[in-house]
Amino acid sequence: MRMRNGEKRIAVLEELDERQHAAGHHWVVDKEGHAPFRRGVEAVVGEGLAELADRETRAELSAYAARPVHWTARLTGHGRDVLVFARSRALAEPEVYCPAPGEQLVELRPAQMVALRVFVALADELATPPAEGLAEQVRSAHFTPTDKRWRLHLT
């Protein structure tokens, strides 16, 4: 199974966060043989989600580690915020969407959901209004990023 870019980014941020907490100085210090980790971190540095230490900080860390430190990184505030959001999103999205008795699961593409929202928003102006309860179902619809569909439970 291939990981999507967003999933890779979150995985790099998670690993950086774990390593950062394990370090007493809140910087993840270089280690030999971690080239894939470094490449991942350097990619998120370009997005402002992590930062690499400057020469002065590396010199301080070298003194602390009693060895030369050539590369070190840590999360930025934005990177921590992305992790908080990613973790809360995972908690907020239930794994299984089960319709209640008498309902069925309907999956809509994003463009179809936009049209349905417009239809519900125009309810007071239409000669034939939407079915009772449709507006609430539209508000409570869930988006599944894996298949890029909106899921609703309709009668």
For the whole model, what pTM was predicted?
0.57
Return the domain boundaries, the chain.
5-92, 104-154
pLDDT in tens, 37-66: 899 999 999 999 999 999 999 999 899 888
For the record, the structure tokens of 75 come out as 């999360």
Cα separation, 148 vs 126, whole angstroms: 30
pLDDT in tens, 99-113: 778 889 899 999 999
Cα separation, 12 vs 28, whole angstroms: 12
pLDDT value, residue 2: 42
In which residue ranges of the chain is pLDDT below 70?
1-4, 32-33, 90-97
pLDDT value, residue 1: 36
Which helix (H) or strand (E) covers residue 9, if one does?
helix 5-22
